């Protein structure tokens, strides 16, 4: 039996900008010193080896030493993680890409990678004794919060744009959440959350305004390494809204290198955005000093309609450090790509995932990605939730 102390090696929280330390035993949101996200830090254990993963559960909690839950009784799990990395033979042949891979997150609980972040965050909310959680969402995170709160015996309040497809609303209600609909994008939902929090005592799980969703999402990075026998790809394309997955994977690569699990070879990280909402692309190209006043419009890839990502600075840092870049693609092309992948591979992926193929084709034509490279498309969700806008 492991004691609670051995279960996690969580040590403290650090401001992502200046490094100021905060206690991991207290409830924090973001770092007040710099108004930036807080990042969990671990005493990376020499005693945690890759060999220890053998025979462990096929969920993200197999990496429990580098996840933040102190007492295992607080883990709220619905079987998230250990999603497959698929070999898309027909896409490989069509585009002459012998090293193309797809990590498919659509099989997660509630049909998206959001399950990982919400499993971690709701577990920490439970550990902190919270009874109610609240989230502004573009869609998928709301369903995931609702499901994990149901499993935890907690109340969920989900604040979502009114134009989001019906399935995203229905699932929240079915899981017993209170659903608040707002005219506008996720940034307007965030304002509504701030207003509701003045009168309701609740645990705020807004993207990167608390440190735990990032920890759940980083397990995608651990899995990519483990599933590819500890050889990271050359390029990862990731659909970027709030940036949690992108930042999380980069953090995982860093932690694994420090533990000696992987070498120093890192993938170039490509942040794929929607043409209707591309704040990172605009800042990257110098069209604005930062995204604070960026005005975006909805996208069929609702997860990409995030006009003012709180963690912009961290997203840009990952792109620079990895020698990657951001790129935006039109909605119509995303839908075409979803259909191509469905017909060729039997995979009905989210438009956010479809956007990756469009971006890949563009970067191949510009010579920024080579045909021989090991390229991983990270499909974040299931297309089934978006059907009303796709067929």
Ligand X SMILES: Cc1ncc(COP(=O)(O)O)c(C=O)c1O
Question: Roughly how many angstroms between the first and final C-alpha of the chain, as a whole number?
Answer: 52
| Nearest CA among 208, 209, 277 for reference residue 239 | 277
Residue 239's binding partner out of ligand X, Zn ion, none, with CB under 5 to 8 Å set by partner kind: ligand X
Nearer of residues 17 and 317 to Zn ion, judged by Cβ? 17
49: region left, alpha or beta (phi > 0 left; psi from -120 to 50 alpha): beta
Nearest distance in Å: CB 292, Zn ion: 18
Instruction: Identify whether the C-beta of residue 307 lies closer than 8 Å to the C-beta of residue 241.
Output: no
Nearest distance in Å: CB 20, ligand X: 24
Nearest distance in Å: CB 385, Zn ion: 37
Report how far residue 54's alpha carbon sits from residue 38's, in angstroms, rounded to the nearest whole number. Answer: 31
Q: Does the protein bind ligand X through residue 211 (CB under 6 A)?
A: no
Distances (CA, A) of 137 to 39, 217, 302, 352, 358: 21, 16, 9, 15, 25
Instruction: Identify whether the C-beta of residue 14 lies closer than 8 Å to the C-beta of residue 21.
Output: yes
Task: Kindly indicate which of the ranges 76-84, 146-154, 235-243, 340-348 contains the residues binding ligand X, using the contact rule CB under 6 A.
Answer: 235-243
Exposure of 198 by Cβ count < 10 A (0-12 exposed, 13-18 middle, 19+ buried)?
A: exposed
* Cβ burial 167-193 (10 Å sphere, 16+ → b, else e): bbbebbeebebbbbebebbbbebbebb
Work out which of 68, 81, 241, 354 binds ligand X, going by CB under 6 A. Answer: 241
Q: Does the protein bind ligand X through residue 68 (CB under 6 A)?
A: no
Report how far residue 364's alpha carbon sits from residue 327's, in angstroms, rounded to the nearest whole number. Answer: 13
Nearest distance in Å: CB 381, ligand X: 3
Q: Does the protein bind ligand X through residue 221 (CB under 6 A)?
A: no
Per-residue x/- track, 9-28, Zn ion (CB under 5 A): ------x-xx-x--------
Nearest distance in Å: CB 274, ligand X: 10
Q: Does the protein bind ligand X through residue 314 (CB under 6 A)?
A: no
Nearest distance in Å: CB 218, ligand X: 11
| Nearest CA among 121, 13, 141, 25 for reference residue 74 | 121
Report how far residue 246's alpha carbon sits from residue 218's, in angstroms, rounded to the nearest whole number. Answer: 8
Exposure of 210 by Cβ count < 10 A (0-12 exposed, 13-18 middle, 19+ buried)?
A: buried
| Nearest CA among 144, 78, 120, 216 for reference residue 381 | 144
Per-residue x/- track, 106-125, ligand X (CB under 6 A): ------x-x-----------
Nearer of residues 38 and 350 to Zn ion, judged by Cβ? 38
Q: Does the protein bind ligand X through residue 381 (CB under 6 A)?
A: yes
Nearest distance in Å: CB 382, ligand X: 8
Q: Does the protein bind ligand X through residue 242 (CB under 6 A)?
A: yes
Nearer of residues 65 and 145 to ligand X, judged by Cβ? 145
Q: Does the protein bind ligand X through residue 239 (CB under 6 A)?
A: yes
Nearer of residues 226 and 352 to ligand X, judged by Cβ? 352
Per-residue x/- track, 89-128, Zn ion (CB under 5 A): ----------------------------------------
Helices 114-127, 212-227: axis angle to 10 degrees equals: 130
Residues 245-274 within binding reach of ligand X (CB under 6 A): 245
| Nearest CA among 379, 52, 69 for reference residue 224 | 379
Residues 145-174 within binding reach of ligand X (CB under 6 A): none
Nearest distance in Å: CB 31, Zn ion: 5
Strands (E), 83-131: 85-86, 100-104
Per-residue x/- track, 26-65, Zn ion (CB under 5 A): -----x-xx-------------------------------
* Interacting residues with ligand X (CB under 6 A): 112, 114, 138-141, 207, 239-245, 303, 350, 352, 380-381
* Interacting residues with Zn ion (CB under 5 A): 15, 17-18, 20, 31, 33-34
């Amino acid at each position: 039996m492991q004691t609670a102390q051995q279960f996690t090696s969580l040590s403290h929280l650090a401001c992502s900008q200046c490094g100021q330390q905060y206690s991991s035993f207290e409830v924090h949101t973001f770092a007040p010193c710099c108004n930036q996200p807080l990042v969990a830090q671990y005493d990376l254990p020499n005693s945690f080896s890759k060999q220890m993963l053998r025979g462990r559960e096929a969920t993200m909690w197999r990496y429990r030493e580098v996840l933040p839950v102190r007492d295992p009784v607080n883990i709220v799990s619905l079987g998230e993680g250990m999603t497959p990395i698929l070999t898309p033979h027909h896409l490989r042949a069509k585009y002459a890409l012998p090293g193309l891979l797809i990590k498919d997150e659509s099989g997660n609980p509630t049909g998206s990678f959001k399950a990982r972040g919400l499993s971690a965050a709701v577990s920490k909310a439970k550990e902190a004794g919270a009874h109610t959680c609240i989230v502004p969402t573009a869609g998928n995170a709301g369903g995931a919060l609702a499901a994990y709160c149901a499993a935890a015996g907690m109340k969920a309040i989900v604040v979502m744009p009114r134009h989001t497809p019906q399935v995203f609303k229905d699932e929240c209600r079915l899981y017993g959440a209170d659903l608040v609909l707002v005219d506008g994008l996720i940034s307007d939902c965030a304002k509504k959350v701030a207003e509701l929090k003045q009168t309701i005592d609740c645990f705020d799980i807004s993207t990167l305004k608390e440190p735990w969703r990032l920890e759940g999402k980083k397990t995608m990075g651990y899995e990519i390494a483990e599933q590819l026998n500890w050889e990271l790809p050359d390029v990862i394309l990731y659909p970027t809204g709030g940036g949690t997955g992108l930042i999380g994977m980069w953090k995982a690569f860093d932690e694994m290198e420090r533990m000696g699990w992987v070498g120093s070879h890192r993938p170039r990280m490509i942040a794929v955005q929607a043409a209707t909402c591309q704040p990172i692309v605009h800042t990257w190209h110098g069209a604005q000093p930062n995204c604070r006043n960026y005005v975006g419009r909805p996208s069929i890839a609702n997860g990409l309609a995030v006009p003012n990502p709180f963690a912009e600075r961290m997203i840009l840092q990952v792109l620079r450090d990895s020698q990657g870049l951001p790129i935006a693609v039109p909605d119509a092309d995303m839908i075409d790509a979803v259909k191509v992948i469905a017909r060729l591979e039997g995979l009905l992926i989210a438009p956010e995932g479809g956007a990756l193929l469009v971006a890949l084709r563009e970067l191949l034509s510009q010579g920024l990605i080579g045909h021989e490279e090991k390229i991983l498309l990270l499909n974040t969700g299931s297309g089934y939730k978006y059907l009303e806008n796709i067929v």
